[in-house]
Amino acid sequence: MGESRNQWDGLIVGASLATLDGAHGYGAIENGALGWKDGLLTFVGPRDALPGDPITLADEVIEAKGWITPGLVDCHTHLVFAGDRAGEFEQRLQGASYEEIARSGGGIVSSVRATRGASEEELLVQSLPRARALIADGATTLEIKSGYGLDFDGERKMLRVARRLGEKLGVMVRTTYLAAHALPPEYAERADDYIDAVVEWLPKLHAEGLVDAVDAFCERIGFDAAQTRRVFEAARALGLPVKLHADQLSDGQGAALVAEFDGLSADHVEYTSEDGVKAMAAAGTVAVLLPGAFHVLRETRLPPLAAFREHGVPMAVATDCNPGTSPLLSLRQAMQLACTHFRLTPEEALRGATVNAAKALGLADRGALKVGMRADFALWDIDRPAELCYWLGGRLAQAVYASGRRLM
């Protein structure tokens, strides 16, 4: 076959566009047109501004209705794991707290046992349906953390599975090293020794191309600020960006700590102080809101949303997909929960799952519909963008594209 003479690989016409191009508003274009070539957007604008007949412009022309948004970016997940923790869900409903369950051998450590016991292939098979569910509801970029291995082989296995998921499903996966997630049983009462091991494993895994960023759980049931700082210093020595599970259960000044290291994001942040917010603003650190965990744990302490707005801290929204506290398989549902629990506007929630989520991963090539950006987008069966946060569940995505290739 000869090479195509058309300008573009694909073109969708007729649907409205929520470009999110600009600091405020949806950047709406009614009766729009979206063209792409070689995985990048080549035209974003009104249909009547196309430089010719659509048939002459692209190899594939699709007439569509509804709305097109940037592909959703899930910037905080733990979706690679084995087993589940439905039993702990029942315990919490009967009155046990998250901390009580963790201290009695449940929580993260129970997922560690199951994940260590699974082969790499078993872990891949169990994780694939979760990743596919996120993609089916509009996600085109996934962040996936380790943290259920808590030994070198287990962490390596998780990160390898995360990489394989991206390759198999055709989406970008950003891997995050989270060995400082919990203290494994073999290091009981020896947290500093365990941090020594975490720091030792990092360069080995980085050398294998398995680590894009480094995270830690800085909390009274996790690791203290001094231990977290050691992990961050090891990341800095390798030129790796950092992020942090910060101030979820108490104000451990985690947000200020990650900002000190110019961190990409501080995540959870329910107890972050005004000083922490100011530090994040100065560093350009994104606040990642995780309403799934807030919902499942039936928390009542809201993140300092007014302070984030006042100081111009970007707010991202993510699923925190994990087996214990946020078994959430839809980023759109996370957006809905962010509106319901945190009172975000639908526009803020959509920006949180696109523009700001991309920023939380250090990615400047996605999150908005602009010429030159990656052709990552979702076509939705909706009449207005607010519906993405209005409907509880259901199937709204007509099609999802990553780098111009249709995923579903």
Closest CA to 41 of 407, 316, 401: 401
Structure-block tokens of residue 80: 């690679």
Closest CA to 6 of 50, 45, 44: 50
Structure-block tokens of residue 306: 């007014």
Q: Is 295 marked as a binding-site residue?
A: no
Q: Is 333 marked as a binding-site residue?
A: no
Q: Is 320 marked as a binding-site residue?
A: yes
Closest CA to 103 of 219, 252, 216: 219
- 333: helix, strand or coil: helix
Question: Helix H segments across 251-312?
Answer: 254-260, 274-283, 291-296, 305-311
Q: Is 324 marked as a binding-site residue?
A: yes
Q: What is the DSSP code (8-state) at residue 225? A: H
CA 8 to each of CA 11, 33, 35, 68, 127: distance values in angstroms, whole numbers, following the listed order? 7, 12, 7, 18, 35
Q: How far apart are CA 128 and CA 213, in angstroms?
A: 22
Q: How far apart are CA 331 and CA 337, in angstroms?
A: 10
Structure-block tokens of residue 283: 């560093």
Contact in structure between 306 and 260 (CB atoms under 8 Å): no
Q: Is 24 marked as a binding-site residue?
A: no
Q: Is 325 marked as a binding-site residue?
A: yes
Q: How far apart are CA 340 and CA 398, in angstroms?
A: 25
Q: Is 181 marked as a binding-site residue?
A: yes
Q: Is 248 marked as a binding-site residue?
A: yes
Q: What is the DSSP code (8-state) at residue 78? A: -
Q: Is 245 marked as a binding-site residue?
A: yes
Residues annotated in a binding site for Fe(3+): 76, 78, 245, 320
Residues annotated in a binding site for Zn(2+): 76, 78, 245, 320
Residues annotated in a binding site for 4-imidazolone-5-propanoate: 85, 148, 181, 248, 325
Residues annotated in a binding site for N-formimidoyl-L-glutamate: 148, 322, 324
Residues annotated in a binding site: 76, 78, 85, 148, 181, 245, 248, 320, 322, 324-325
